[in-house]
Amino acid sequence: MSDERGTVPDDMLDKLVDKLDLERKVRLLTGATTWRTAADATIGLREIVCSDGPAGIRGETWDERRTSCLLPSASALGATWDDRLLRQLGGLLAAEALRKGVDVVLAPTLNLHRTPLGGRHFECFSEDPELTARTGAALIRGLQEHGVAATAKHFVANDSETDRLRVDVRLSERALREVYLAPFEAAVEAGVWAVMAGYNGVDGTTMTAHPLLAEPLKGEWGFDGLAVSDWAAVRTTDEPARAALDLAMPGPASPWAADLAQAVRDGRVPESAVDEKVRRLLRLAARVGALGDAPRHRPPLPGEGARRLLRRAVAAGSVLLRNDGVLPLDPTHLGTLAVIGAHAASPRVQGGGSAGVFPSAVVTPLAGVRACLRGRGRVTYTAGPSPDGPPEPLDTGRCTDPRSGEPGVLLRCLDAEGNELSAERRLSGRLLEPDLAPGTRTVEVRALLRPETTGSWTFGVGGFGRLTIEVDGEVILDGDHPCETDDPAIVHVTPPVHTARAHVERGRHAHLVARRELVPGSGRATIVAAAPPRPDRDKALAEAVAAAREADAVIVVVGTTEHDETEGHDRTHLSLGDAQNDLVRAVAAANPRTVAVVNSGGPVELPWRDEAAAVLLAWFPGQEAGAGLADVLFGRSEPGGRLPTTWAAALADAPVTRTRPVDGRLDYEEGLHIGHRAWLRAGTEPAFWFGHGLGYTTWRYEGVDAPDHVGADAAFTVRVAVRNTGTRAGREVVQVYLARPDSAVERPVRWYAGHAAVHAEPGEEAVAEVLVAPRALRHWSPQDGGWRVEPGTYRLLVGRSAGAVEHEAAVAVGTEPGEGNA
């Protein structure tokens, strides 16, 4: 039915639509399940399977036994400034999708780092629309060239989490077009097959019913794919149906399932609108091989192997903020290396929320460093003071199932009288979609915990409804916690965890029983967690200092906790907490060769940044965290990353921080000026600029060659000669910014226009060819309702970050369409 590339001619799609009566058509427009669309055998349509990304492909179930490859977080990918690598990672996601029977990946997230407080900051690439556009487009191409659909989300202006289901974002037409829509426009240019409409509203209309779905998305940009709702974002029948939304997810219940056929019969929604939605659904089905007898595409396994690619990606995204020469460490000349910090042994490898997957194994920083120094140097480990954070879910390392004696926990489903209906061993206390036997009223988790310390442990149970915890037969928590939110991410993924304490003894098993009574409408996610007593802070600090003193060099790893960076909440601060800040300070004072590694998905304050000999951002690095980190620390790879987002020294300095709506409205009053543009406008200095990041060699910028004159709609190339003046081969990311000081229209002080990376050996010169796309010169004219290019002279600023300009040139842009030099 379809040709090799899954393209089905429109007249064939029309014929298929004609075969369906109204009921059958409407059936296709709501999910059949949480992750599947409906099938219709009469037209050869099978179910289309969706799964969340973007950091990995979870598949249809949240189950720790069905593991996934875990990529670095999107913020780390944004830091690579490497489209080729993004395309390869897209290929890996496609391979994972195909392995798990997934047709549509709900990624990439193309919202922007508008403020450092955004709860899903880690899930977005950058503060910059153009860098986001390029990164996202590369990932989309990498996925779709293997027949797996990407979904550009969340369309549009869904850049923070507070009141995320209802917030009404107000922004100027220019900010909308030039900043927030720009990455989606690039996604459509890259041929994306699906776009997800967000929960939020823009200018008073919720996105699933918004005219922007028609114009510019489907009309002006020519998007011919499927517009799918965010999960449960369709709240009424008529408006989204009349607007250009195509598919309501999830199902089987939705306002469309209940009422759309009747709305058509009543004349509230034209049948032609339904036909168009079905046509688009069928087009997507054809593309992913779900229509007719198209064979499934074969998984394209990454040539170098998934783990090697992921390890390379960790190094490629790591950003070296400063280095007084301590890095790279020479593994052959280290007697003792002290690894310090709780995150070194228990890193955060991903952010919280719907993006989460269960990786099969994680290489911790400690394990990565140990593997590299095995047989060469001694590695000591000291945890230091505990970061403030919630207790961790139970796992196989600490618990056994009391029934089988095997590692893990026992999950039981109980009826109203407490009789067991089913039981199974699970490997984690994070049970987000437990299988419920019919008639289940209570989910129970039992575990034998082997405490590694004596004292007052914290036990936690997460979920809604009546929650209880017993330790060795004593009830320590019993309370009712009604569900007061309709945010699916909180109900089904990160329900609040309630805690209580009990005394347990090292070496003596503690019998833990946690129960959650199920209440209709409040989900079934159940989390059972435990944490040892916090060690005495001063003592832990003193131990860390002693370890640092005895070592030849120190790696101290600090980071955010599970509470800090997660979907459904914005952050309220950027602090790592006193315990961790004191730790870095004390260790750096004790050993001048201290490398601080920061494990966070988004910006944090680094008040000690000038005290440590080197500061390296690892982001949320995914499963190969420690392997990639060790490559960087010991110089097997250069830290390839450059900041995709400007980092403030302190939250109070950050120019754009408001995420809290007032009377339901969130005004993007900063307009075009987010990220580095905002800092430049304010004339203030951040701690680290967008684009900043060091490698292991040094560079001299020798000259810039740019055309003097280009036509109004022409791409042009800026050639920048750079020389490697250091003693190691390296990669330099040469960046071009534009400025238009005497413009007749409002402009950013300067704005990112493009970059190119070059490699050179010591002493060698390389020429970076930076392509500036015509869109870098255009601005949206609200008066004309179109794009315009202001003729005249633009400054070209070439440098290593938005704040470090090495060379300047000028280009005159004509009034006529004409040639560039590209």
Beta carbon of residue 666, minimum distance to ligand BGC (angstroms, whole number): 17
What is the distance of C-alpha 529 from the center of its chain? 25
b/e map 698-724, b = 16+ CB within 10 Å: ebebeebebbebbbbbbbbbbbbbbbb
DSSP state letters, 327-357: PSP-GGG-SEEEEESHHHHS---S-BSTT--
Answer whether 566's CB lies under 8 Å from 351's CB.
yes
Which residues on adjacent β-strands are paired with residue 396? Answer: none
Size of the site for ligand BGC (CB under 6 A): 8
User: Which member of 159, 230, 564, 670 binds ligand BGC (CB under 6 A)?
Assistant: 230
Q: CB within 8 A of 125, min separation 6: which ones?
A: 74, 75, 77, 78, 108, 109, 110, 131, 132, 135, 136, 644
At 430, which amino acid appears?
A: R
Q: With respect to ligand BGC, which residue has the nearer C-beta, 386 or 566?
A: 566
Q: Does 489 bind ligand BGC (CB under 6 A)?
A: yes
What residues numbered 341-360 form the site for ligand BGC, per CB under 6 A?
A: 354
Q: Give CA–CA dist 80/351, Å, rounded.
A: 18
Burial of 663 (0-12, 13-18, 19+ CB in 10 A): exposed
Q: With respect to ligand BGC, which residue has the nearer C-beta, 48 or 394?
A: 48
Beta carbon of residue 113, minimum distance to ligand BGC (angstroms, whole number): 16
Q: With respect to ligand BGC, which residue has the nearer C-beta, 206 or 354?
A: 354
Q: Give CA–CA dist 70/56, Å, rounded.
A: 5
Q: With respect to ligand BGC, which residue has the nearer C-beta, 62 or 608?
A: 62
Beta carbon of residue 306, minimum distance to ligand BGC (angstroms, whole number): 23
Q: Which of 63, 103, 230, 487 is catalytic?
A: 230
What residues numbered 350-409 form the site for ligand BGC, per CB under 6 A?
A: 354
Work out the number of other CB atoms within 10 angstroms of the CB of residue 420. Answer: 11
Q: With respect to ligand BGC, which residue has the nearer C-beta, 104 or 518?
A: 104
Beta carbon of residue 160, minimum distance to ligand BGC (angstroms, whole number): 12
Work out the number of other CB atoms within 10 angstroms of the CB of residue 601. Answer: 29
What residues numbered 791-820 form the site for ligand BGC, per CB under 6 A?
A: none
230 is catalytic: yes
Q: CB within 8 A of 375, min separation 6: which ones?
A: none
Element (H, E) at 543: helix 537-550
Work out the number of other CB atoms within 10 angstroms of the CB of residue 658. Answer: 17
Beta carbon of residue 234, minimum distance to ligand BGC (angstroms, whole number): 13
Beta carbon of residue 300, minimum distance to ligand BGC (angstroms, whole number): 24
* CA Rg value for the chain: 27
Q: With respect to ligand BGC, which residue has the nearer C-beta, 193 or 696?
A: 193
Q: With respect to ligand BGC, which residue has the nearer C-beta, 429 or 488?
A: 488
Q: Give CA–CA dist 665/507, Å, rounded.
A: 55
Work out the number of other CB atoms within 10 angstroms of the CB of residue 11. Answer: 7
Closest C-alpha among 488, 357, 306, 360 to residue 58: 357
Q: Is residue 324 left, alpha or beta, with left meaning phi > 0 and alpha meaning psi from -120 to 50?
A: alpha
Q: Which residue is nearest to ligand BGC (CB)?
A: 354
User: Which member of 78, 408, 462, 488 binds ligand BGC (CB under 6 A)?
Assistant: 488
537-550 and 578-590 helices, crossing angle to 10°:
30
User: Which member of 231, 619, 696, 780 binds ligand BGC (CB under 6 A)?
Assistant: 231
Q: With respect to ligand BGC, which residue has the nearer C-beta, 106 or 213?
A: 106
Beta carbon of residue 443, minimum distance to ligand BGC (angstroms, whole number): 21
Q: What is the dihedral of CA 724, 727, 728, 734, to 10 degrees?
A: -20
Beta carbon of residue 231, minimum distance to ligand BGC (angstroms, whole number): 4
What residues numbered 47-66 form the site for ligand BGC, per CB under 6 A?
A: 52
Q: Which runs of E-coded beta strand occur in 560-627?
A: 594-599, 614-617
Residue 85's φ and ψ, nearest 5 degrees, are: -65, -40
Beta carbon of residue 354, minimum distance to ligand BGC (angstroms, whole number): 3
Q: Does 339 bind ligand BGC (CB under 6 A)?
A: no
Distances (CA, A) of 504 to 253, 430, 449, 470, 622: 46, 22, 10, 12, 33
What residues numbered 88-127 form the site for ligand BGC, per CB under 6 A?
A: 106
Q: With respect to ligand BGC, which residue has the nearer C-beta, 157 or 797?
A: 157
Q: With respect to ligand BGC, which residue has the nearer C-beta, 577 or 601?
A: 601
Burial of 536 (0-12, 13-18, 19+ CB in 10 A): exposed
Binding mask 149-188 toward ligand BGC (x if CB under 6 A, else -) reads ----x-----------------------------------
Beta carbon of residue 674, minimum distance to ligand BGC (angstroms, whole number): 21
Please give the positions annotated as active site: 230
* Site residues, ligand BGC (CB under 6 A): 52, 106, 153, 230-231, 354, 488-489
